[in-house]
Amino acid sequence: MEDDHVKNHGGPAPSSTTTTTTTNSAYLDATRSERSVWLMKCPPLLTRSIQTSDPSRPFGKVVVSIDPLSTDNDSPKFTMVLPASDSGNPPDLYKMEMSKDFIPMCVFSESTQGRLAVEGKVLNKFDVRPRTEDFDSYGKLCRERTKKHMIKNRQIKVIDNDNGTNMRPLPGMVGLMNMGCNEKKKVSSKGSEMKRTRRDRGEMEEVLFKLFERQPNWTLRHLIQETDQPEVMLFSYR
């Protein structure tokens, strides 16, 4: 089997095996354009295993089975055999179903230096699939890997500035946030058991108007601190 997992493919077959064509000021090496290669469509799990394998060592082999006693013209059967797999590796046997109806294509490659080359013509196209007896184990392995990648590691981050200054303020809440950022006002030394003296209604209305001119929103607690009036008195102005 030729080099079956070259990255890029497509385009018409070149007309010469010895010429070098020029496209957009880049050279295309066509010396291997007549070489026959196989195009394989592999499951994602097998594709990742091929990409992470050692390129200096063979990834696997293809076994071609032919029945010499068969009277009809049965097509040969192809099987991909991988080395013995440890736990967590994909199944070591795959069916290769040949497709006889496909568009003629060529395989192209690009080096790390940006050099383009034609690696050959696609002679056969295969759909690589797990064997029927391996469907259960293959599906279980895919589910386990998917579940593993979906688990997110939790991270704990300590926020130094936790007073909310970096938060986006809501409309009309700027005054309240500034109040929280500044040093908190000391609570009145008067005990809760001491009765506050009620102000005259006209005086109280003037105080409230001035407070709401300063900022549009107030909490009840801050109004009590600013006016030094009981809560019932403030509710009467609603």
* pLDDT of 160 higher than 80: no
CB 96 within 8 Å of CB 80? yes
pLDDT higher than threshold 80 for residue 135: no
Q: Would you state the pLDDT for residue 10?
A: 41
Q: How far apart are CA 27 and CA 39, in angstroms?
A: 24
Structural tokens at position 34: 């007549």
C-alpha 62/C-alpha 5 separation (Å) is 14
DSSP E strands: which ranges in 8-143? 8-9, 20-23, 26-29, 36-41, 61-65, 77-81, 93-99, 106-110, 116-130
Q: Mind listing the pLDDT tens digit for each residue in 72-112?
A: 666 788 888 887 655 455 557 888 888 877 788 888 988 88
pLDDT top residue among 95 and 162: 95
156 vs 28, which has greater pLDDT?
Answer: 28
**How are the residues of the chain apportioned to helix, strand and coil, as percentages rounded to the nearest 5?**
25, 20, 50
The average confidence (pLDDT) of the chain is 71
- pLDDT band for position 4 (cuts 50, 70, 90): very low
Comparing 177 with 133, which gets the higher pLDDT? 133
Average the pLDDT over 105-125 and give the result. 88
pLDDT of residue 213: 82
Q: Helices in the chain by DSSP H: which ranges?
A: 44-52, 135-150, 174-181, 201-214, 220-227, 231-235
- Taking the C-alpha atoms of residue 10 and residue 28, their distance in angstroms, rounded to an integer, is 14
Copy the structure tokens of residue 41.
Answer: 């469509």
For 228, residues 6+ apart whose C-beta sits below 8 A from its C-beta are: 188, 196
Tokens of 31: 């010396």
Domain boundaries, the chain: 8-149, 174-235
Q: Which two tokens stand for residue 92?
A: 């070591």
The average pLDDT across 34-62 equals 83
Average pLDDT rounded to a whole number, residues 29-45 = 86
Distance CA 163, CA 223 (A): 22
Q: Which of 37-41, 108-112, 136-140, 146-150 has the lowest mean pLDDT?
A: 136-140
Residue 170: the pLDDT is 57
Q: Judge whether 194 and 150 are in contact, CB under 8 Å.
A: no
